[in-house]
């Protein structure tokens, strides 16, 4: 019984550690996105306030965007690998799998956009069918008029 309680306690600590790590990664992503917005603005303001070369600030801006992007990718990848390991150990089932750090809203938005695009495409196809039918009727009517004349 004691061994079982120890295992349950260890499992609880492991799950809380994993959850804390996941939440910290989410915070890091939010901070990284904010930095991704504000740092280029700072470089833009500095480039117009100083009389030095704009090229230097452009290069700094581009390098900072790449650096922040790689940082965000690294955080997301490490969190993804952590969740993969959790699935591998059988701790998290496929149905209970946690959403990616920045993927839940994006996936929902993509699904909504796909539905909107599908609806628009279907309407465009219907409109094209109507146009084709009208053109065929007009051409058929013109041929009949020519034959009767």
Question: pLDDT tens digits, residue range 102-144?
Answer: 566 666 777 787 888 888 888 989 999 999 999 998 887 665 5
Spell out the domain ranges in the chain: 1-101, 102-149
Dist. CA 69–CA 91, nearest whole Å: 30
pLDDT band at 95 (very low <50, low <70, confident <90, very high): very low
DSSP category for residue 96: T
Dist. CA 60–CA 68, nearest whole Å: 12
Q: Quick one: tokens of 68?
A: 């922040």
């Amino acid at each position: 019984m004691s061994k079982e309680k120890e295992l349950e306690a260890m499992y609880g600590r492991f799950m809380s550690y994993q959850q804390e790590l996941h939440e910290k990664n989410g915070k890091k992503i939010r901070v990284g996105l904010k930095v991704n917005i504000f740092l280029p603005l700072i470089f833009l303001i500095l480039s117009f306030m100083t009389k030095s070369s704009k090229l230097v600030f452009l290069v700094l801006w581009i390098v900072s965007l790449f650096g922040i992007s790689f940082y965000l990718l690294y955080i997301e990848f490490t969190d993804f690998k952590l969740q993969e390991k959790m699935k591998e150990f059988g701790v998290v089932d496929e149905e209970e799998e946690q959403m990616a750090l920045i993927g839940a809203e994006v996936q929902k938005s993509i699904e909504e956009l796909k539905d909107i695009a599908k609806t628009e495409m279907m309407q465009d196809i219907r409109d094209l069918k109507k146009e084709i039918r009208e053109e065929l009727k007009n051409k058929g009517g013109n041929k009949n008029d020519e034959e009767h004349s």
